[in-house]
Amino acid sequence: MNIIECRNICKNFGEKVALDHVSVEIPEGQIFGLLGPNGAGKTTLIRIINRITIPSDGEVFFNGRPITQRDVEKIGYLPEERGLYRKMKVGDQAMYLAQLKGMSAKDASNELKKWFVKFGIESWWNKKVEELSKGMAQKIQFITTVVHKPKLLILDEPFSGFDPVNAQLIREEILRLKDEGSTIILSTHNMESVEELCDNIALFNKSHVVLSGNVDDIRREYGNNNVEIEYTDADGRHVEVVEAGEGANAILRQYIEKGVTINSFKELMPRMNDIFIKLVKGE
Amino acid sequence: MNFRIIRVIIGREYMTRVKKKSFLVTTFVVPVLFALLCSIPALILTLSKGKDKTIAYVDESGYVSGKLEDTKQVAFEDFTGHLSAEELKAQMDNLDFDGILLITPKAEGKEADVNVTTYSTKPVSVEIKEMLTQQIEEAVEDYRLQQYEIDGLKEIMQDVKADVQIVTYTIDEDGEEKETSSEVFMIISMLLSMIIYMFVSMFAGTVMQSVIEEKSSRIVEVLVSSVKAIELMIGKIVGVALVALTQFFLWIVLTVVLVGAFSSIVGFDKLVEGSSSTTQMMEMAGMDSSMMDPSTMTMTMDEHSELGAVLETLQNINYVQLIVAFVLFFVLGYLLYASLFAAVGSAVDNEADTNQLVLPLTIPLMIGFFVGLYAFNSPDSQLVWWCSMIPFTSPIVMLSRIPFGVATWELILSLGLLFLTFLGGAWVSAKIYKVGILMYGKKSSFKDLWKWIRMK
């Protein structure tokens, strides 16, 4: 089941074409990566899914039906350019944003308090936003994005601005939300987190989708089907790259029979980073 | 349109503003200031009595000596014959007087003309100067009259002197006569146009600032991912309007309470006496030179006096009509300007960039303000009439006409035009706003705005 299906989306801003017949299918319960260089049309597509902008042509389906304004309440969106009202108190602000997503004041208050406790930031409730550091504000933004338990979570560069500890915290939360059944669209330039988190991706370039599918499949497809084996024998440590034509077991058996100690064995897959550069530059 | 969401937005816009310190200060300080403005002249009248000054004088002409009479404020001491003018001036420091007055005959010119000089440590007040002029003129006139050697001439002159007071009545549709004072209408007319101009520009400006704030703090993208841009705009405009109305009604209530409390202490007639002297001060400050007739300076307390007319006019004003018209014109005028200002706010990244784009909005507002301010001069002139119909100036100018009486059909026509223009303006603004709030970086021009309006 696809939670989101974009069919033949086109968007022009005057002369400029931002999206040209783009079709993307986002399966439910997975983490979906939107990749692409700046200006490729990712943000425009995200805004169309959020109904912030209306497509010039094409249609978006949510759970198999054309998307409506009510469906937006089931989406949580963390834009890349994000901010809060500087003069407003953290708690009031979070309450406001949660209520805009259709929560009642009571639910909003209960859920928010849980999140504040979880992140250990209860003491911020009555602080003004301008007193918070950037990282602190980011945490609040993350909470306000997920507080209404969205079925679909759209995160645009969610890790920027976080220190490694907090980035890890957010990463864990994303995985936990996925386990709880949310679908997550992750737009990022950080290819490592794509490899780590995403199940499927779509790579945008110049208003088109140039590559889409399962991350592992893509990496295999672009790889040379090699494996890397590291072993120790009488002469010391060795690293060898072998063609994996015969299958991993056969190769391993071969080495074990040689009487060497195997330290590690892994499938050699190209980095997403290399695939990204190859595709974007190559066109 | 999701009204539950719009209510949430209105709630935030309203609460954040009403809780601000600046709102509380303006709401409570302005009526206090206004009440003080009404009561200070009365206070001064009450307090200034008994504060005597002594002026010593020498009259070398012989026309004035012995004829200066003490007033409430000033006592005179005559040194004529004891000291010469020069001596008195020389001794000024030794003698403990507030001032000295030297009267010498003029060498040339009319018979019995005098030169008058005063010396004092502190500048002489306008009031004392006028009193001195009047008394000396009277003394000189008396002397000259005596020179004609006609019996009883003084009485004849007194007899001949005419004292004309115009009592103005207006007759309303029911044929009922009401005593009215044009000065009071003038003040009310000017006040109304000032207040409505202030309110519209202030609160429409607030809307613009708040749009810019949301845009520059980048919260707007989160907001429009939850609500429609148009809902956000409506919520903001309505929320700020409620703040304005709250302030307006608090001002009315507080002013009434304060003035009421004060008049029960000082007495209402004093209060009106005081405030009508404020009126005269405004007139003297050059509002209208034709009204600077000195006869209005002296206040008499008889039945058809200025004061009586002021009181009666104040009682005869149709306050209900005035307040209803004020609220209607303010709300519609505000809605029109606020939606246009919101569009401008959405098109820029920061307040510094608004200059070029707000100009077409501030110019009609200023024109309305100035026409409204001077409408009392001729409330039925062509210019004023048209400005009270054209929607961009009508909220201000129509209000300034209302004290002088406006036909109901004119009010309805003006309100109708204003309402239609508001609908059109809001439609255009919503289109600009929707696109503008997500545009960053480029400085938008009118050409861009036009493009956004036509965008589907």
Residue with tokens 């990282």, as numbered in its chain: A135
**For residue B154, is pLDDT > 70?**
yes
Alpha-carbon span B129 to B297, nearest angstrom:
14
Q: H helices within B217-267, ranges in order?
A: 220-226, 229-266
Q: H helices within B317-445, ranges in order?
A: 319-347, 355-374, 382-387, 394-401, 408-436
Q: What is the pLDDT of residue B129?
A: 85
Domain-ending residue, one of A185, A219, A253? A219
Looking at the structure, tell me whether residues A187 and A246 fall in a common domain. no
Residues A105-113 have a mean pLDDT of 94
Looking at the structure, tell me whether residues A88 and A16 fall in a common domain. yes
Domains identified in chain A, total number: 2
pLDDT digits (tens, 9 = 90+) for B182-222: 777 888 888 888 889 988 999 999 999 999 999 988 899 89
Looking at the structure, tell me whether residues A157 and A144 fall in a common domain. yes
Alpha-carbon span B200 to B196, nearest angstrom:
6
User: In sequence order, which residues have a C-beta less than 8 Å from that of residue B147 and are 6 or more positions away?
Assistant: B111, B112
CB-based contact, B222 to chain A, within 8 Å: yes
Q: Where in chain B is the domain with CATH 3.40.190.10?
A: 53-150
Alpha-carbon span B315 to B365, nearest angstrom:
32
Size of interface A-B (CB pairs under 8 A): 65
Residues A174-182 have a mean pLDDT of 93
Q: What is the pLDDT of residue A193?
A: 87
ipTM over 0.90: no
pLDDT digits (tens, 9 = 90+) for B75-118: 888 888 887 777 887 777 777 788 888 888 887 767 778 888 88
Looking at the structure, tell me whether residues A237 and A133 fall in a common domain. no
Looking at the structure, tell me whether residues A18 and A103 fall in a common domain. yes
Q: Which residue has the higher pLDDT, B417 or A246?
A: B417
Residues B429-456 have a mean pLDDT of 83
| Whether the Cβ atoms of residue A87 and residue A51 lie closer than 8 Å to each other | no
Looking at the structure, tell me whether residues A247 and A199 fall in a common domain. no
Highest mean pLDDT among A74-78, B178-182, B304-308, B378-382: A74-78
Q: Do A69 and B451 touch (CB under 8 A)?
A: no
Strand partners, A77: A154
pLDDT digits (tens, 9 = 90+) for B110-123: 777 888 888 887 77
Give B70's DSSP letter. Answer: P
What CATH number has the domain bearing residue A157? 3.40.50.300
Confidence class for position B351, pLDDT limits 50, 70, 90: confident
- Picking from B15, B212, B214, B225 by the largest number of A CB atoms within 10 A of its own CB, the best residue to mutate is B225
Looking at the structure, tell me whether residues A147 and A98 fall in a common domain. yes
Superfamily (CATH H level) for B53-150: Periplasmic binding protein-like II (3.40.190.10)
Confidence class for position B46, pLDDT limits 50, 70, 90: low
Confidence class for position B292, pLDDT limits 50, 70, 90: very low
User: In sequence order, which residues have a C-beta less than 8 Å from that of residue B356 and are 6 or more positions away?
Assistant: B445
Q: Do A88 and B16 touch (CB under 8 A)?
A: yes
Looking at the structure, tell me whether residues A130 and A50 fall in a common domain. yes
The B residues from 184 to 213 touching A (CB cutoff 8 Å) are 213
Looking at the structure, tell me whether residues A246 and A272 fall in a common domain. yes
Per CB-CB distance under 8 Å, the chain A contacts of B214 are 85
Q: What is the pLDDT of residue B269?
A: 64
Neighbour count for residue B23 (Cβ, 10 Å)? 16
Looking at the structure, tell me whether residues A49 and A178 fall in a common domain. yes
Strands of B114-120's sheet in order across: B74-78, B53-59, B99-105, B114-120
Looking at the structure, tell me whether residues A23 and A143 fall in a common domain. yes
Looking at the structure, tell me whether residues A168 and A230 fall in a common domain. no
Domain-ending residue, one of A193, A219, A245? A219
Domain around A232? 223-282
Closest by CA position to B274, among listed B431, B110, B40: B40
